[in-house]
Amino acid sequence: MPAPGAPLDAAAGQGTSAPGAPGPGTPQPSAAQGHVPHAHGTQTAAMPAPGAPLDAAAGQGTSAPGAPGPGTPQPSAAQGHVPHAHGTQTQAMPAPGAPLDAAAGQGTSAPGAPGPGPYPQAASPQGPPSHATPTHGTPPPGADAFAQPNPGPEVAGGGGTGAVGHGAAGPGGPWQRYDPWSAPLQQTGAAVETEGQRRRRGRRVLVLGAALIALVAGGVGGVVGAQLERDGGFGGDVELPQAESGSQKRSKDSVAGIAASALPGVVTLHVRGDDGAGTGTGFVLDAKGHILTNNHVVEPGGSGGDISVTFSGGETAGAKVVGRDAGYDLAVVKVSGVRGLKPLPLGNSENVQVGDPVVAIGAPFDLANTVTSGIISAKERPITAGGEKGDGSDVSYVNALQTDAPINPGNSGGPLVDSRARVIGINSAIRSAGNDSGPDGGQSGSIGLGFAIPINQGKRVAEELINTGRATHPVIGVTIDKQFTGDGARIARESRNGGPAVNRGGPGAKAGLKAGDVITAVDGQRVHSGDELIVKVRAHRPKDRLELTVERGGDERKVTLVLGTASGE
């Protein structure tokens, strides 16, 4: 703008005023003030200083809509800045006395866009502005420092030298360019995060992401696992689940432990002779090769039959009969030239109690090394077996151990062992469904009634057979009436050969027994038949002392005798 008091150049006002420029008569700020305000970004032309004559050409043209009308108060140039409506940034002005470059204001401003420079400049044809600019911030006399421009629509500045644009500060000016977009941007209403906060947020995101991935992976794995378990996989061969290989060791007192200990000492016998063939079981008595079995097992071979012994490991050997006794149904055979024999230990049948666990080993129906288990069901069961010859010479009398361990044809002669794998009996007979009480009970299967010769009796007989080839029987020296149907054992009137029923000088005669006496008890145990009396007597050794309860003529008496000895067959 011209200096105060300088005349206005008519050429400076030529052309039509840009829309929004003040009309004639509108109070204008002094040129010494150095800047003009922006209304919504619209630039206004600088006016001459107070008292300067207006050039008629400067006021020509129609005011742009929204420009302040005549008399509108304008801010003083002495305030030193241009206020922006609605947050428009203020712009610094050149220092007082700095020359304004007239060329800075040239050119037409784009609609609503800021000019090339940061400051609104007024083109002055008069040369440099006056240095009589009031002190910064002090309005000239009569100027209203709080007047605000009347906001109007944003318009484009007029062409020609009368239009005011944003020009650049002259070279060498102390004011530097201000870039309103150089400040960092941030989201409205949110605080700017520090570096530590960003790192913590990143870690939280990683942790949450890892947890989410683990959760999803677990779910997918569960579904896949269930699918695999249900359908056996996605394809290929089916592989069934199976327990892992474990230890094969078992407790010594278990059935498996007992069997493992006893089986090496058990053998299977195959007998062939003129009288037939048969299969049975036996067990090793000593390292010399003696094997104990039942008499009815080896009987088909007779005295010259063929006996083959098969051990649990599959080895075979020939055997010969050492001795046998039909009355006890026991026999001893011997193998020769066999090493590594495993004799079974012998227990004590007197210590056996009802309910004790037992294991039976044998070859039922020629199935070698068969193991069954059960308990002792009863003791001192008087049984008789055999009798196929009809004369009674093959009948055996046994005060047996009863067991429910399954015993079948082929088990005869095999061991009945206790929980410590010690032999307590020799399996000899079964009670079959057909009521056959013969050896092995015929060919019927087990019904849980098996009988074994007590090992105490078997040991004595085996020792006699090995040492002498014959066994001895304890006797009382009387003939029993087998036709008696009453309770007890009655002494016959005469012997089988017609002689006296009470042997002269025998144990019975010495004790005072007479024909017709009825013996009702042995050592206090009742007897109900002649066979039971024989069983009770043979359960003892020769020279054992017995107490008998006798009825005679309605009177009951007790007698004591010492058992005699008879040679067995």
* Residues marked as catalytic: 296, 329, 412
Query: Residue 176 in contact with residue 93, Cβ under 8 Å?
Result: no
Query: Residue 455 in contact with residue 399, Cβ under 8 Å?
Result: no
At residue 398, the 3 state secondary structure works out as strand
C-alpha 459/C-alpha 328 separation (Å) is 11
Amino acid in position 370? T
Query: Residue 64 in contact with residue 149, Cβ under 8 Å?
Result: no
Amino acid in position 450? G
C-alpha 150/C-alpha 142 separation (Å) is 20
Query: Residue 562 in contact with residue 543, Cβ under 8 Å?
Result: yes
Per DSSP, 81 falls in state B
Per the listing, tokens 């201000």 go with 178
SS3 for 420-487, per residue? CCCEEEEEEEECCCCCCCCECCCCCCCCCCEEEEEHHHHHHHHHHHHHHCCCEEEECCECECCCCCCC
C-alpha 421/C-alpha 507 separation (Å) is 40
φ and ψ of 187, to 5 deg: -70, 140
C-alpha 452/C-alpha 383 separation (Å) is 10
Residues, the chain: 569
Query: Residue 66 in contact with residue 184, Cβ under 8 Å?
Result: no
Alpha-carbon Rg for the chain in angstroms: 68
At residue 309, the 3 state secondary structure works out as strand
Indicate the pairing of strand 276-284 with strand 290-293. Answer: antiparallel
Residues 6 or more apart whose Cβ sits within 8 Å of residue 529? 488, 489
C-alpha 461/C-alpha 264 separation (Å) is 24
Query: Residue 354 in contact with residue 367, Cβ under 8 Å?
Result: no
Per the listing, tokens 């307590």 go with 424
Structure-token pair, residue 526: 């009742």
Query: Residue 356 in contact with residue 419, Cβ under 8 Å?
Result: yes
Q: Element (H or E) spanning 334, and its range?
A: strand 330-335
C-alpha 476/C-alpha 198 separation (Å) is 115
Q: Which of 502, 523, 524, 522 is nearest to 511 (CA)?
A: 502
CB atoms within 10 A of CB 546: 18
